[in-house]
Structure 1
């Protein structure tokens, strides 16, 4: 449960720190990065507490993460790309812990 909370709080903190004039909109766009977890619906079992998402689910693969990094160079989707990369970073930290 704490892991899911981080996926909402960390983008909010980043939005507030770096996009203060428009932080609520930016927060929502970054928090939309949690939609990358839709790929969990295709896994069997759908939830396995011992499984690392990074490298397992198709939206959590290294090529997908590279694509998210490339999206940083497109201004119209940069905030979403940041949200996706923050999501991947938080999932990676979860794998380490």
Structure 2
């Protein structure tokens, strides 16, 4: 999943491990199980927090910008398996005014 707007954050899964973009730091092992992801993007403070199953796993800087949008799905790269799958449910995007 990504929050675009100068790519504020990107969560990626490789070898069943969830990471932030190209970071080697593993947030969670996510193979073959449902898990809950909450992302809090504070645009004014240029901060992003990621929670996995209610536990904060990441706190980092945003990338600035004033126009952001949310995106999720599967994006294969060279060397990807012939079958990749991503399932999502109960997606909500909330905005604090």
Q: Shared fold (TM-score greater than 0.5)?
A: no
Q: Which structure would you say has the larger RCO, counting Cα contacts within 8 Å and 6 or more residues apart?
A: 1
Q: TM-score, normalised by structure 2?
A: 0.28
Q: TM-score, normalised by structure 1?
A: 0.28
| Greater helix fraction, Structure 1 or Structure 2 | 1
